Amino acid sequence: MGAKHYFTEHPSSVGESYGEHFLVASRFSKELLVAGLACAVHAIVPNLFKTTGSSKIHQLHSEIARGVRG
């Protein structure tokens, strides 16, 4: 098995090309980074962003479970 396998096996298993998977995973990454920053602010000022992190995780999990891509 060549190196290409490392880039294509998982995207193929979820019905995506490498490029499609890159875009979906990049969007998830961006959304989690923003939610993580909100959680960091919440750690300092607990009255801010009370549900931002958990809401984003629930939303993204729901998208994954339903097969929503992009």
pLDDT 10s digits, 42-61: 999 999 999 999 999 999 99
> Can you give the three-state secondary structure of 2-65, one letter per residue?
CCHHHHHHHHHHCCCCHHHHHHHHHHHHHHHHHHHHHHHHHHHCCCCCCCHHHHHHHHHHHHHH
User: Which amino acid appears at position 24 of this protein?
Assistant: V
- For the chain, the domains span 24-70
pTM of the model: 0.81
Name the residue with tokens 């998977």.
21
**Block mean pLDDT (10 aa), the chain, length 70:** 87 94 96 97 98 96 84
